């Protein structure tokens, strides 16, 4: 069953039934100020950091689901309703939610009144704008009572949920005209406040939550709304909120706009106050004035649309398959921007409290984002590298506000350093900005021990070389990409987290074949980069290490039909036919086939065939097989999950594109495509009831074949699945791949594709690529004609002339 439809022309997903199988959300803002918003107006806002600068409160995992948001209540005589259906849940005559590129429009129609709310964060603005349009469609005048509602969070989202003995006494607000200011803790150490305004005089307000709702009522029935009378409450402690009250008269056919601004301000310490205890409101007033008319708001929205037109204009495909085109041209790229901004912090599955920016995650997110805004990717690379240690190891996460490494989680994930080579080389291939390699970048955020970014790459490479185990394979450390394969944990205490508990790495023989494959792939990238910048000795040195690693994998990482996954603490095989459960894992098949290890010996093809045979299922490729059915103390968290979920034989979508790429390396376009399509959300729209999460974005996990309900997705939005699928489909299936000296064209497609077109802006020129497949091939470029001239290589040269160039390709 479907709950809406794609409107590709407007780049929107339009939800027509509010009772989606799970809240289907969107993100507003893409730089400093952010909001999450669901299809029924749930969600919250924050400035930069979802933990330390949480502006509005949210209730996770509640009953009902998705409680708290940016709500409007309309009282039309005795009918009380909300434009987004919730929180009132009054049946609407019509409901529509349009999730677009960083904006959402909720529309409700009830008793001949239309209420449409446009929510967005304008570019370069620390505020969310809500433009509410009320229209009277009836033939008689309407007297409506309108109440807005947001609930302030006391800034630190974690302590907001636990330290009530303090919080219930600290809340403070100021009310001036139509603006409600939230200033809790401003008088002590905070130099920031937030505000909620409307661009017209109000007839009342409330700022105390219990007064507004009544202690025993829920979001759906605030007492003041039922009574149709605000109480002008001023919050002192307890739970501050902001609610405006407006009396609206509409003649037949008349429409009125109301512009609400929910904003955030930071003041210099010396400019904090206007007078004793009265906050300096200048900056808030400036922002409010920037958006005080509908024309100004519409202009800001048009700017936002233009911004997205530009971003999405860099890569477009015309394949003739709408489902593919809308993913590649719109939603997959949009999701890449969102994961770039948030890493794994704030979604409807990540609380925004626990996790900052991941070292490996952010590097991988870059590969789907770098073509959009390379300057921001550059800044991110420097931030990430600054949290590295001099020996190449690194903090696993850092906090976006402070950009400091997160001590609670610490380091020791031995795959982490290698992803910096991926992020950096992708960036340079896109931009040719080799200068970034000379940037001085701190270690451990300490500028006194800064070295060039290139040096950071060298120590990243060497961190693997310096940490090899008994089989010549990389020691796994705390864990590799699979956070839950904890080979050094041995945890028997349910009160400790696998992610942070002390590891027994002393004397451990635990090695990772996945890191080995990863090392070969990104080691080669490191070598290519060294050669490119004339460091041939370093390239030779590195190449020797890579050759040794290839041999170690062939000798000690091969199980006969597939690559083993690891060696455990004691040196026993993990992911081998010798094991009782989890005989095969996806990660090592992905990385070793991408590295082409044992290609001549037929190992790659065998490994890929084993994936097909043992890991593939109707809904995608599962992580391991058979699933673990009991807890293995020597494997850790992976075996805690019920069979078929998460890292225990779930379809962990992040790694499926690794196999897609492996298949394209092997030339099997049919299979690559089949795998791509299986987890691609636009192809799953019609099974939304089963799939549950949004049909416009990838989820981290789809329940695998051993699960109770195979095909059910969880953890949508913030997942490396976004960037990896974009990377796989654009660079390996469609085969348009940036390289240092030009654009490589090397598609690997299903046999029955006849042709497709791609437009790619790259280094100051636009490449209009048409690929024809008259002979039903899967791979292999037979002929390329550029601007009418046949070229002999599939590396299309750089033009850098601001013009458009025709590239005709025949397979």
Please list the active-site residues: 483
The rounded distance, in Å, linking the Cα atoms of 748 and 324 is 15
Radius of gyration of the chain (CA): 28
| Residue facing ligand BGC at closest CB distance | 483
| Helix runs in 466-558, H state only | 513-532, 536-556
- Residue 344 within binding range of ligand NOJ, rule CB under 6 A: yes
Report in angstroms how near the CB of residue 728 gets to ligand NOJ at its nearest. Answer: 17
Cβ atoms of residues 73 and 147 within 8 Å:
yes
Give the separation between CA 703 and CA 714, rounded to whole angstroms. Answer: 8
Which of 545, 639 has the CB closer to ligand BGC?
Answer: 639
Under rule CB under 6 A, residue 430 binds ligand NOJ: no
Q: Quote the tokens at residue 382.
A: 């420097």
As measured in angstroms, the least distance from the Cβ of 168 to ligand NOJ is 35
Which of 241, 484, 595, 615 forms a contact with ligand NOJ (CB under 6 A)?
484
Contacted entry of ligand BGC, ligand NOJ, none for residue 360, CB cut-off 5 to 8 Å set by kind: ligand NOJ
499 is a site residue for ligand BGC (CB under 6 A): yes
Q: What number of other Cβ atoms are within 10 A of residue 630's Cβ?
A: 8
Q: What does 478 bind: ligand NOJ, ligand BGC, none (CB cut-off 5 to 8 Å by kind)?
A: none
From the list ligand BGC, ligand NOJ, none, which binds 116 (C-beta under 5 to 8 Å, kind-based)?
none
Distance CA 613, CA 625 (A): 10
Element (H or E) spanning 279, and its range? strand 278-279
Minimum distance, C-beta of residue 380 to ligand BGC, in the bound complex (Å): 20
Segment near ligand NOJ (CB under 6 A); pick from 44-52, 355-363, 593-601, 801-809? 355-363
| Residue position matching structure tokens 């709500």 | 71
For residue 226, what are the contacts with CB-CB under 8 A and spacing of at least 6? 80
Looking at the Cβ atoms of 18 and 575, the one nearer to ligand BGC is 575
Contact 645, 704 (CB under 8 A): yes
For residue 331, give both structure tokens: 């939603």
Residues 99-118 that bind ligand BGC (CB under 6 A): none
Judged by CB under 6 A, how many residues of this single chain contact ligand BGC?
6
User: Is residue 591 within 8 Å of 658, Cβ to Cβ?
Assistant: yes
Complex with ligand BGC: residue 430 or 483, whichever CB lies closer: 483
Query: Which 3 state secondary structure label does DSSP give 438?
Result: helix
Is there binding between residue 358 and ligand NOJ (CB under 6 A)?
Answer: yes
Q: Which residue has the tokens 């409007």?
A: 72
Q: Return the closest-CA partner of residue 432 out of 88, 33, 764, 7.
A: 764
DSSP SS3 for 532: helix
- Contacting range for ligand NOJ; rule: CB under 6 A; set: 39-47, 170-178, 476-484, 531-539: 476-484
Instruction: For residue 466, give both structure tokens.
Output: 């310096």
| Residue 646 binding result from ligand NOJ, ligand BGC, none, given CB thresholds of 5 to 8 Å by partner type | ligand BGC
Could you say whether residue 396 binds ligand BGC (CB under 6 A)? no
- The nearer residue to ligand BGC, 357 or 484, going by C-beta atoms, is 484
Does residue 713 bind ligand BGC (CB under 6 A)?
Answer: no
Count Cα neighbours of 159 within 13 Å in the Cβ-side half-sphere. Answer: 11
Tokens of 536: 């041939």
CB 83, CB 56: distance < 8 Å: no
Cβ contact 650:711 at 8 Å: no
Considering only residues 197 through 256, tell me which ones interact with ligand NOJ, judged by CB under 6 A: none
- Distance, CA of 250 to chain centre: 42
Is 74 in contact with 145 (CB distance < 8 Å)?
Answer: yes
Shortest reach from residue 636's CB to ligand BGC, in Å: 10
499, interface contact from ligand NOJ, ligand BGC, none, CB < 5-8 Å by kind: ligand BGC
CB of 749 to ligand NOJ, least distance (A): 29
User: How many CB atoms are closer than 10 A to CB 483?
Assistant: 18
CB nearer to ligand BGC: give 474 or 636. 636
Sketch the per residue contact string, 119 through 158, with ligand BGC: x for CB under 6 A, - otherwise.
Answer: ----------------------------------------
CB of 361 to ligand BGC, least distance (A): 9
Given its phi and psi angles, is residue 388 left (phi above 0), alpha (psi -120 to 50 degrees) or beta?
A: beta
Only one of the segments 357-365, 601-609, 690-698, 735-743 lies at the binding site for ligand NOJ (rule: CB under 6 A); that segment is: 357-365
Task: Considering the complex, state which of residue 515 and residue 758 has its C-beta at the smaller distance from ligand NOJ.
Answer: 515
Q: Contact between 361 and ligand NOJ (CB under 6 A)? A: yes
Q: Which of residues 586-645 bind ligand BGC (CB under 6 A)?
A: 637
- Judged by CB under 6 A, the stretch of 35-43, 475-483, 684-692, 774-782 that binds ligand NOJ is 475-483
Beta carbon nearer to ligand NOJ, 483 or 685 = 483
Q: Would you say 126 or 481 has its CB closer to ligand NOJ? A: 481
Least distance in angstroms from the C-beta of 499 to ligand BGC = 5
Nearer to ligand NOJ, 426 or 701 (CB): 701
**Residue 482's binding partner out of ligand BGC, ligand NOJ, none, with CB under 5 to 8 Å set by partner kind:** ligand NOJ
Answer for the pair 213, 227: CB distance below 8 angstroms, yes or no. no
Retrieve residue 651's tokens. Answer: 């379809």
- The nearest distance, CB 406 to ligand BGC, in angstroms, is 11
Give the separation between CA 123 and CA 297, rounded to whole angstroms. 11
Q: Which is nearer to ligand NOJ, 174 or 483 (CB)?
A: 483
What residues pair up with 702 in beta bridges, in sequence order?
A: 651, 713
Q: Is 778 exposed, middle or buried (0-12, 13-18, 19+ CB in 10 A)?
A: buried
Residues 623-662 that bind ligand NOJ (CB under 6 A): 647
Please choose, from the candidates 665, 657, 582, the residue with its C-alpha nearest in 3D space to the C-alpha of residue 621: 657
d(C-alpha 611, C-alpha 593), whole Å: 11
Nearby residues of 2 by Cβ (< 8 Å), 6 or more positions away: 685, 686, 688, 695
Q: With binding defined as CB under 6 A, does residue 483 bind ligand BGC?
A: yes
Place of tokens 């904090």: 272
Q: How far is the CB of 381 from ligand NOJ (least distance, A)?
A: 17
Rounded to 5 degrees, φ, ψ at 315 are -135, 120
Distance CA 565, CA 592 (A): 10
Q: Return the number of the residue (116 or 712) whose C-beta is nearest ligand BGC.
A: 712
Segment contacting ligand NOJ by CB under 6 A, of 160-168, 193-201, 309-317, 354-362:
354-362
* Binding flag, residue 481, ligand NOJ (CB under 6 A): yes
Of 36 and 518, nearer to ligand NOJ (C-beta) is 518
What, of ligand BGC, ligand NOJ, none, does residue 361 touch, CB below 5 to 8 Å by kind?
ligand NOJ
Asked if residue 488 binds ligand BGC (CB under 6 A), the reply is no
- Could you say which of 96, 128, 430, 483 contacts ligand NOJ (CB under 6 A)? 483
Asked whether position 484 contacts ligand BGC by CB under 6 A, the answer is yes
What 3-state DSSP class applies to 769? Answer: strand
User: Using CB under 6 A, which of 151, 172, 415, 647 touches ligand BGC?
Assistant: 647
**CA-based nearest residue to 175, from 235, 238, 229, 126:** 235
Among ligand NOJ, ligand BGC, none, residue 128 binds (CB under 5-8 Å by kind): none
Dihedral sign, Cα of residue 73, residue 158, residue 365, residue 33: positive
Which position among 244, 646, 671, 678 is part of the footprint of ligand BGC (CB under 6 A)? 646
Residue nearest to ligand NOJ (CB): 483
* Structure tokens given for 453: 């970014």
Helix (H) or strand (E) holding 657: helix 656-665
Footprint of ligand BGC on this chain (CB under 6 A)? Answer: 483-484, 499, 637, 646-647
Footprint of ligand NOJ on this chain (CB under 6 A)? Answer: 344, 358, 360-361, 481-484, 647
């Amino acid at each position: 069953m479907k709950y809406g439809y794609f409107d590709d022309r407007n780049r929107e997903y339009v939800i027509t039934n509010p009772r989606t199988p799970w809240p289907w959300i969107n993100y507003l803002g893409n730089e400093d100020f952010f909001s999450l918003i669901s299809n029924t107006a749930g969600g919250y806002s924050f400035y930069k950091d979802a933990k330390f600068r949480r502006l509005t409160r949210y209730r996770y995992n509640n009953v009902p689901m998705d409680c708290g948001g940016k709500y409007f209540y309309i009282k039309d005589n005795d009918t009380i309703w909300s434009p987004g259906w919730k929180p009132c849940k009054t049946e609407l005559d019509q409901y529509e939610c349009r999730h677009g590129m960083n904006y959402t429009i909720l529309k409700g129609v009830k008793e001949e009144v239309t209420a449409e709310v446009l929510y967005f964060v304008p570019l370069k603005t620390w505020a969310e704008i809500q433009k509410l349009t009320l229209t009277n469609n009836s033939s008689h005048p309407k007297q409506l009572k309108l109440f807005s509602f947001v609930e302030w969070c006391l800034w630190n989202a974690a302590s907001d949920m636990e330290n009530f003995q303090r919080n219930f006494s600290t809340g403070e607000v100021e009310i001036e005209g139509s603006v409600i200011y939230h200033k809790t803790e401003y008088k002590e150490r905070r130099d920031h406040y937030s505000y909620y305004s409307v661009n017209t005089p109000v007839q009342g307000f409330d700022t105390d939550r219990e007064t507004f709702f009544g202690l025993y009522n829920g979001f759906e029935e605030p007492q003041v709304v039922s009574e149709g009378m605000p109480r002008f409450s001023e919050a002192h402690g307890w739970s501050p909120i902001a609610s405006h009250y407006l009396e609206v008269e509409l003649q037949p056919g008349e429409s009125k706009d109301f512009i609400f601004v929910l904003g955030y301000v930071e003041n210099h310490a010396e400019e904090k106050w206007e007078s004793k205890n009265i906050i300096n409101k200048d900056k808030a007033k400036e922002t409010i004035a920037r958006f005080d008319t509908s024309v100004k708001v519409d202009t800001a929205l048009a700017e936002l649309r233009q911004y997205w037109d530009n971003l999405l204009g860099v890569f477009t495909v015309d394949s003739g398959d709408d489902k593919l085109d809308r993913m590649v041209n719109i939603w997959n790229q949009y999701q890449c921007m969102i994961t770039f901004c948030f890493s794994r912090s704030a979604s409807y599955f990540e609380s925004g409290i626990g996790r900052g920016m991941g070292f490996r995650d952010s590097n991988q997110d870059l590969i789907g984002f770098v073509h959009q805004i390379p300057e921001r990717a550059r800044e991110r690379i420097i931030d990430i590298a600054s949290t590295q240690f001099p020996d190449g190891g690194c903090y696993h996460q850092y906090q976006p506000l402070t950009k400091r490494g997160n001590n609670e989680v610490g380091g020791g994930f031995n795959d982490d350093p290698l992803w910096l080579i991926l992020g950096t080389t992708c960036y340079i291939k896109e931009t040719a900005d080799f200068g970034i390699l000379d940037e001085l970048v701190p270690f451990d955020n300490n500028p006194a021990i800064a070295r060039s970014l290139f040096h950071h790459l060298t120590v990243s490479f060497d961190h693997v070389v310096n940490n090899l185990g008994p089989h010549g394979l990389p020691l796994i450390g705390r864990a590799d990409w699979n956070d839950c394969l904890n080979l050094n944990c041995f945890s028997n205490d349910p009160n400790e987290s696998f992610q942070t508990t002390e590891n027994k790495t002393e004397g451990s023989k635990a090695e990772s074949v996945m890191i080995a494959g990863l090392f070969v792939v990104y080691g080669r990238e490191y070598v290519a980069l060294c050669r490119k910048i004339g460091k041939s000795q370093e390239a030779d040195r590195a190449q020797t290490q890579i050759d040794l690693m290839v041999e170690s994998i062939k000798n000690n990482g091969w199980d006969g039909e597939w690559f083993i996954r690891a060696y455990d603490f004691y040196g026993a095989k993990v992911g081998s036919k010798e094991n009782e459960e989890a005989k095969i894992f996806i990660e090592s098949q992905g990385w070793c086939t991408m590295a082409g290890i044992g290609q001549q010996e037929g190992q790659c093809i065998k490994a890929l065939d084993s994936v097909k045979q043992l890991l593939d299922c109707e809904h995608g490729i599962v992580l391991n097989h058979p699933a673990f059915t009991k807890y293995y103390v020597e494997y850790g968290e992976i075996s805690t999950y019920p069979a078929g979920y998460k890292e225990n034989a779930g379809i962990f979508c992040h790694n499926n594109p690794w196999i897609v790429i492996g298949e394209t390396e092997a030339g099997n376009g049919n299979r690559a495509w089949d795998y791509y399509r299986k987890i691609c959300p636009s192809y799953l729209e019609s099974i939304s009831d089963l799939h549950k999460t949004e049909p416009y974005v990838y989820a981290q996990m789809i329940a695998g074949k051993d699960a109770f309900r195979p095909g059910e997705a969880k953890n949508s939005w913030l997942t490396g699945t976004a960037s990896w699928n974009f990377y796989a489909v654009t660079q390996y299936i469609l085969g348009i791949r940036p390289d240092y000296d030009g654009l490589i064209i090397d598609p690997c497609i299903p046999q029955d594709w006849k042709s497709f077109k791609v437009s790619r802006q790259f280094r100051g020129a636009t490449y209009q690529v048409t690929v024809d497949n008259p002979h039903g091939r899967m791979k292999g470029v037979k002929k390329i004609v550029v601007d009418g001239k046949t070229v002999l290589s599939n590396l299309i040269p750089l033009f850098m002339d601001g013009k458009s160039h025709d590239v005709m390709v025949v397979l």
